[in-house]
Structures are given as C-alpha cells and as structure tokens.
Structure 1
C-alpha cells in the first residue's frame, strides 16, 4: 500500500516516524509525499502543549474526513486515547510505546488499538538529507508534575547499544553526515538495561565509527547528567561530537523547581554549567524554560530572568505553562493567563537581547563549518563545532568549510567561505 506520514513534535517523534517507515518498507509498502497519493494516512501526534493538542484535534478531524484508512500514532494517542476515539472513531490508535504495531494497523482490515507494546525490532534506516535521527531510548526515568508525555511514554526502555551503533554505521555508509542520538531524556539511557553501559559509553562507541560525520546528542535532564558528568565530558572530548548540551533548567527558582518535581537545585545546575564550560570554553548550552508554572510569583519569575542573564545560554526554548489533563500541576493553583502572557513577553524579549549579544561576539572569527541543509535564496546552512547555524553561499552539502563570520542575528550567524 501507499502510506503518507505527517509528524509533529520533538526529534524523538521524528525518529519514531522513521522507524515506522522502515518497518513498513520492509513489508514492501511505499511511502508517499502527499495524502492524495496515499491509501493509508498516518499522523504521528504531539500533546506537549494545549495549543499543540488543538492543532492535532483539527488535523485528525480533517484526515478522518478523507475516507481513507487513518492511523493516529504518537503522544496524543497514548495520553488521551478517548479523545482521539471521539474525534475519529474508525481510526486505529498506536501509542508511542507500541510503534512496532504500525504494520498490523496498516495491514489489518480491523481497527487496531495498541497503546503499549514491544520496542520495534528495527531502528530507522530511513533519513532525510544528511541528518540521521536515531532514537536511543523511549520514555524517561523522571516524573515531572507538568508533563503529559509521561502518560504516553510510561516507562524507560533503552535500545540495545549494538543495535544503535549498527544503525549509525549503516546511516554513515549511506551518506549521513550528522548522527542525532535522541530520546525523551538521553541521560537516562541504559538505566533499564541492567548492565554497565550509559550514555557516555554509547556516544564513545558511535563517535569511534569510521567516516566523516558528527554526533549530536539530544536533551538530557540535569539530575542524570550530573551523576555522570565526568564521563560525559570525556566522551564529548572526541572531535566527532558536537560541543552541544541541551539541559532544560525550566525555572530559575528552587521553590518552583520543587513544585515541578525537578530533581536538582539551581546551585547544582550552575555547577554543571561551570564544569562544562571549563572543559569546553566554546560550548553551546541550550536550555528550556517554562514561564508561569503554578507557584511562580513575581520574585520567582525575576529569578528566572536573572538566571538567563547570569548563565547566558546559547539558545532557550521558552514556553508559557500549559495546563495538561491528568497531571499534578493541573491540580495546583494556577497563575492567571494575562500574567503568564506578560511574563512570556518579557522573557522572550530578554532572550532575544542576550542571544544577539552572544552571536555578535562571533563576528570576525573564522570557524569550521559542516554544511548540512539547504537554506533560502540559494543559501546553505552549516553548523559550527558547537552546533550554531551559519548561513553561507557557494557551498556544497556534506562538506566542511572554513567560514569567516560576517554578521549575526538572534537566531543564527552569517558567514562567507574563506
């Protein structure tokens, strides 16, 4: 059959889609680029925020009206299956921890509902462009009070290291120049395997493969990164590993962190950042911040702004707290909507100011850049060794260049090939 995929949400969702595509291609099904071409429609959903859920609901309704077989996969299917069933009663449901059942859902004449199954037997052999996204684990070891994803991905399940390394090796042989190791919390990798292998060991094995490529590691929680920081720093010392760490701090106030059920203090987070920057002075530390979580008063919000100024993160994903059903944070006293919106505006304004300052410091430098993607107006997008995007012209995909940084914005750098 001809199958069309739509994917929303995080890099792990994207990796799950590639795994489902790989399974279906192994059964001789064809992946097509539009719903008009398809016999079966698969939407891999996200449920992390309320506005995202509204977008998913609208799209599920639209796809259900096509009259074609519909499979709803991903976190909305896993966290709120009753909602999905009410929107599209004839659709099959595949939770994010049962994506291996996508073949059954596509091929069966009956409606399939599978919310928790086995890990898929394969990792993605499908990738787009030069970037191969490889899930290393599903689920996490935490229990954040604001998180609905925990309801969809209930338990931590790490993929075997040999499976991951072999998938990366095959991707490199097919031309991948970036191996993105992703998970809900990459620092949790291996905790469930009952053996002495952790994220640092896995990164070491992947980065030791032959070939011209770089390894990028996805988000890790501070509390688990802290437990293995020395080993992680040793693994990141490999020249094939981007000097990039995604460590979500979420708030600059310890009381709010406790309300969120985060398992670290601000002093511990500061120490992690200090140690990373001491080892890698030109490092990219990216973080996430939630504005307006229950328990955040004006002083707590000011603490968050002050932390942004103090630690000067390379990139910040700022989101206004979104009440999610069946989570502990939803049962707490809420910050009024207008206050949340006003704080979000102030936080984003500060972030843009800080980011422009940080990026201006790169102007005039010569930096090594790996060109990975096509940009707008015949430009290309490269990445520095600390994973900052650089817009260049007259460059070929998949090649390294030395670029002189000529200009900057809050989002990226502009360079000319030397």
Structure 2
C-alpha cells in the first residue's frame, strides 16, 4: 500500500479526473498524505492554458521531483507537451490520467477494505467476489494485508449480483485480488461457473471481469473462454498481468506462471472470440532485469499486442523481499519505461484506429467532459459520444454507434 500526494491544476474536468484517480487508489488500499515529503508517490494533474501556466507546471514538477520518491505527471500538459518535461530533465512518469492508478500500485494486486460487500456507484455495481490471493510475489505488499484467498460461495455472490442489478446496476464489475483463483480455497476454481450464473440473472446489463493472474486463468482457460463466447452480457475483456516477458525475471518475482502459459491463454481466447480486449501489465526495471530480459518483454508485447497495457517502473515496497535487492537506478528504468511506453502507444493506437468505420452496441457508463458521455463496447473499449444531449443519451442507456475517429486510448462515435 502506498502513501500518495496529489495536486490538481486547471479546469473542472481535471478536478473530476483527479477524483476518479483518488477513488481508484482508495479502492486499492492506498491513502493520501498531507504533503509530498510524506508520500511514496506524488501525482501532478497539469494544465496548459497559456505559456505562463506551462512555466509554472515545469517549475512545480521540478520541486515535486526533489520532495518525493516518485513523481507521476498527468493531465493536459502531460498529454499535449510531455516532451517539455523530458527536455527539462524532470524524472517523472508521463501518463494518461486513467493509467495513474495502476502505476501507483506497482503491479500489485488491488487491496479492498475489510469484507467483500458490493457497492453501487451510479449505474456501475462493484462486486468483490473474494478477498486475498494464492500468490507470493516478491515485490507485492498487498499479500501482507489480505492473506490467502477467501471465497464466498457461488450462490452468495450471485445473490449479491442480483441485488445490484435490481438496484439499477447496468454494469457489474467483478473484482478481487485475483479473480482467476476464485473458489481455490473451496477445492475447485469456479470463476467460469460464477460468471455463467450471473449472466443468467434477468435484466439488461453487462459484466466486466477484473484482474486475473495468468496462472489461475491458464488452468480454466478453455471453460472461461467458452463462457465468454456464450454470454453476450460478458464484456469480451480479460486483464491478465504478465509483468515480464522473461521467465528468469518472472522466477525472481516469484510469479507463478511462465511466459508460455500467458501466451496459451491469449491463444485460447483468440480461438473462441473474434473481437476481444486483452489487458496486461508490465513491470519495467525489476532489480534483476537485464537488457535481454527487457527485450524479451518488448518482443512479447509485439507478439500478443494487448489493446490495453499498463507499464509500471519498479519501485520498492517496504517489507517486501524485492526491496532488499540492489536497484537498477533511475536512468535505466526511465529509458526502458520510455521505450516500452512508446511501443505501447503504437500498439494501442493501432487497435483503436482499426475500429474506425465499425459499428458496435455500447453501454453509456458515465458522463464525460462537456456534453459527452463515456461508453463501453462489447470488448470494453472506451468510446466517446459527443453532443450526447442531441441524442438523449445518459448513463445506463444502450445504443448502437458507428466509430468515426480515435485518439490513442479511446474512440469517437455517433449513434446510428
């Protein structure tokens, strides 16, 4: 769990994005501190209205860089003029705002608070299906807070899901430290059975499955992919964090999977689904990572081409075994992170560019900036509909849209 400090500059939209960043960080067990000097990571949500503002942002970023262990810069200036921070030698990760939470978590599992009670947030129902995991990753502090997997029964989780749908949830987010090992403590992994049962609930809603480590998914990959293919209510979306393309580094991380098992999961879903989203995570600069290991990660990214990728520079967590290792140094991690992030942007942009001209049924999930709404298509890809009031669209609505354009990590569309 990390201590974070966040500063927000600029418009109402930036403040809204910072609130969503903080919400995700709180859900993951992190907590806010009063100043950057007390924080493990500082987050700066920037503005770039005029030249004077740009100078102020650069000055403040340099100050924060010296006051905290790690700095993340996001917001308008980060996206439009990220190179300025690099030219000024600011040692920071330059990220889109929705990538910030995963960067702060350092590749660790999410850490919800005590209990596994569902929450309804707007039209989104959040259903933690279990607490804990079966892993013992060398870099992760989460396991000290959550322990081993503790899975309520399928029947209990189905009833919680039904209650969320009856309360108005249009999107159910199935969460946990590692959803792929759900039921392991009961003697059998039953995620696919749970999802099948949830999709049988009466109502018009969608289901998104949260993070599932490759090892847990690998053992049920055929059953799981079949359930995805048979249920239209399930978003065709799988978040399977590989963390490295090197079996050597995976061994040092004490990850339970091999690269080949991750690839086999990808191939199985490819065989069952024509259109789906693979989401994965890479930790760059683990203390034992050699250049050849990094290049293996780059090669794996090119081979599997995930449509959503979280790239995190390794940072030490107190009390973990990896914290005892001699680090690689900021320059090496920065260079490798930059190289992988550039490849990531190219891969993701290619996926969204390929969507232009296609039609999809989407669920309106939340309001966007100005008169726009954020939607999710059948593969959980983000689609923005502008001038939403002209179409009478609001959160909870389903509609068919045609994709008309794209940015790197989302598409634009109009109702048809």
Match of 1:332 in 2: 325
Structure 1: tracts of 5 or more residues without a match: 1-5, 17-42, 59-95, 100-118
Distance (whole Å) between structure 1 residues aligned to residue 362 and residue 272 of structure 2: 21
CA deviation digits over 1:331-359, x for unaligned, max 9? 22321121101111111111111111111
Distance (whole Å) between structure 2 residues aligned to residue 46 and residue 154 of structure 1: 23
The reply on whether 1:145 has 2:143 as its aligned counterpart is no
Q: Is the 8 A contact 1:12 1:184 kept in 2?
A: no
**Given the superposition, is the C-alpha separation of residues 332 and 235 from structure 1 closer, same or farther in structure 2, using an over 3 Å criterion?**
same
Match of 1:402 in 2: 400
Distance (whole Å) between structure 2 residues aligned to residue 97 and residue 363 of structure 1: 37
Task: Map 1:13-412 to 2 at 5 A.
Answer: 14=27, 45=31, 53-54=40-41, 99=114, 119=115, 123-124=117-118, 126-194=119-187, 196=188, 198-237=190-229, 238-392=231-385, 393=388, 394=391, 395-412=393-410
Match of 1:77 in 2: none
Structure 2: tracts of 5 or more residues without a match: 1-18, 44-66, 68-110
Distance (whole Å) between structure 1 residues aligned to residue 192 and residue 129 of structure 2: 12
**Given the superposition, is the C-alpha separation of residues 319 and 54 from structure 1 closer, same or farther in structure 2, using an over 3 Å criterion?**
closer
**Given the superposition, is the C-alpha separation of residues 136 and 181 from structure 1 closer, same or farther in structure 2, using an over 3 Å criterion?**
same
* Structure 1 residue 10, shift from structure 2 partner: 8.3
Runs of 4+ in structure 1 deviating by more than 3 angstroms, as ranges, are: 6-14, 43-47, 50-56
Q: Is the 8 A contact 1:12 1:182 kept in 2?
A: no
Query: 3-state DSSP class of the match of 1:275?
Result: helix
CA RMSD in angstroms comes to: 2.6
Query: 3-state DSSP class of the match of 1:307?
Result: helix
Q: How many residues align?
A: 323
Q: Is the 8 A contact 2:181 2:189 kept in 1?
A: no
* Structure 1 residue 378, shift from structure 2 partner: 0.8
The structure with the larger Rg is: 1
Query: 3-state DSSP class of the match of 1:158?
Result: coil
Query: 3-state DSSP class of the match of 2:185?
Result: coil
Q: TM-score, normalised to structure 1's length?
A: 0.72
